Amino acid sequence: MAGGLRCSILSCVRFTLAAAAMVVLAPLMASAQPTLTIACDSDSDCGGVDEACVLGRCLSIRCNSDSECTNRLPFCLDGICQDPSCTNDDDCRFGGCVNGHCRDVDCTGDTDCPAGRSCVDHECRDCVSNPQCGAHGVCSDNNCVCVECTQPGQCGFDQTCSREHTCVPLCEADRVFVSASDGNRICKACVNPNAAQRCNEFPGCRANTICAQGFCINRCSLDPPDFDRLLDELTDLRYRLDPDGLPDCPRCNAIFELAGVRTVLERGGVDQPVRVRLLTGSGKLFAELGSGKPNRGSWASLPLQAQPALEGELGKEGGCGYMLEIRSTAPAGGIASGPICLTAL
C-alpha cells in the first residue's frame, strides 16, 4: 500500500510539472501553433530560416496574422512571425529593409534580377546608367528609353548628336560645313565664309592647316580635342580577374584591356599627355589605369593592359555604375568622364 501510495504521489508530481509547462507554453501554442524542436540559448542555435529561440526552445512559428505572433516576433510576414526592425538589408532574415522594417521585396541586389537589369529601391529595373540600354537607348528614371542617337557616329556626315540625343546640324546657321581628308582621318569644320582664309591648290594653306572646299581649316591631329564627347563611343571596359587571387580574395587585382581607350584617344586627336582612372558611380577612385602621351598620333605609350590594385571589391561578372575618367596632365588641359560598364572576359 505504501509503495502504491508513493507511486501515486510521484505521478501527481509529474502530472503537476507537466501541467505547469503546458500552462507556460499554452498561450504561445494556442495562437502561433509552434513546433517544438531543440533546446537553445539564442536564435543562432536554431537551424531553420523560420525558427527562433523562445523559452529556451527553437520554435518554428507560422502564422496568418499579427495576432498569432509573440511579443518578440510581433509581425506576421510571408507566413512567418518575424521581428522586422532593421537598418539595412543585412539585418533581415528574409526580404529587404524598407523604411526600417523587413519586407518581402523583389530584390536586394542585381543578382536577384534577370540578366541585364538592376536592383533599384528593391525593384528590378532596366538600368542605372546609359550603357545598359544599348546603342540607341538612354537610362531615364531607371528605365531604358529609345532615342535617335547616343553618339555622333549614329548621325549623318554633317550632323552631330545633341545632349538631348537627337541628330542636329554640326554647324550653326551662319557657318559653312566643310570636310577634307587628312591622312587616314576626315577633318570636319564649321567656317565663317566672311572671315576664313580662302585657298586652292596654288597657293595652299599655311603650316598645320589644310584646304577644305576652298577654306583653310586646322588639321585633325592638331585640333583641340573635344573632351566633352571623347568617351561617347566607349561604353564598356573589359577585364579579367587575376587567376592567382581566385576564388575568394575580396579585392583581387584585375587585368584591364585598354585597346578601346587607345582608339578613343587617337580618333579624338588628343595630342596631350593624359592620366586614365576608373571611378565608382559616386566619383571615388576605384583603380588607376595608367598614364601616357602621344607620339605622332599614336598612343602606344599607353599600355594595352593594366593590372592596378583595386580600391574596392570587383566580382567575377562585372557590372555598370562605374565612371571612366581621362584627364589631361597638360596645363589648362581638359577632363573627359563618362559612364562605363565593366565586362568580364
Residue 255 has pLDDT above 50, yes or no: yes
The letter for the amino acid at 331 is P
Determine the average pLDDT of the residues in 176-191.
Answer: 83
Length of the chain measured in residues: 345
- Cβ 231 vs Cβ 338: under 8 Å: yes
pLDDT above 90 covers a percentage of the chain that reads 6
- pLDDT for res 163: 84
Those residues with Cβ within 8 angstroms of residue 260's Cβ, 6 or more apart along the chain or in another chain: 234, 236, 237, 238
Residue 47 has pLDDT above 50, yes or no: yes
DSSP string, 40-92: -SSGGG--STTEEEETTEEEE-B-SSGGGS-SSS-EEETTEEE--B-SSGGG-
Q: What is the pLDDT of residues 116-144, one digit of tens each?
A: 777 888 888 888 777 777 778 888 888 88
Categorize the per-residue pLDDT at 14 as very low, low, confident or very high, splitting at 50, 70 and 90.
very low
User: Closest Cα to residue 129, out of 254, 315, 120?
Assistant: 120
Contacts for 236 with CB less than 8 Å, ≥ 6 apart: 131, 260, 340, 341, 342, 343
pTM for this structure?
0.40
Q: Distance (Å, rounded) from C-alpha 87 to C-alpha 93?
A: 13
User: For 47-56, 142-151, 159-168, which range has the lowest pLDDT when averaged over its residues?
Assistant: 47-56
Q: Strand, coil or helix: what is 328? A: strand
Cβ atoms within 10 A of the Cβ of 323, count? 19
**DSSP-assigned beta bridge partners for residue 81:** 76
Looking at the chain, the domain(s) classified CATH 2.60.40 span 229-344
The Cα 266–Cα 246 span in angstroms is 35
**How confident is the model over 205-230, as pLDDT tens digits?**
877 788 888 998 887 654 455 666 77
b/e per residue, 261-290, with b = 16+ CB within 10 A?
bbebbbebbbbbbbbbbbbeeeeeebbebb
The amino acid sitting at 322 is Y
Q: What angle do CA 282, 105, 109 make, to 5 degrees?
A: 35
Q: State CA 180 to chain mean position distance.
A: 41
CATH architecture classification, 229-344: Sandwich (2.60)
CB contact at 8 A, 323 and 339: yes
CA-based nearest residue to 211, from 222, 224, 198: 198
Q: Decide which of 11 and 140 is more confident.
A: 140
Q: Which range has highest mean pLDDT (21-35, 41-55, 169-183)?
A: 169-183
Residue 56: CA count within 13 A, CB half-sphere: 3
CA angle 70, 74, 79 (to 5 degrees): 95
- pLDDT above 60 for 4: no
Angle at 222 between CA 332 and CA 327, to 5 degrees: 35
Given this model, what pLDDT does residue 277 score?
Answer: 93
Grid cell 577632363 is found at 335
The answer, yes or no, to whether residue 19 has pLDDT greater than 70, is no
Burial 55-75 (b: 16+ CB within 10 A, else e): eebbbbbbbeeeebbbeebeb
Task: Quote the CA–CA distance of 165 and 322 in Å, as a whole number.
Answer: 21
Q: Which amino acid is at 119?
A: C
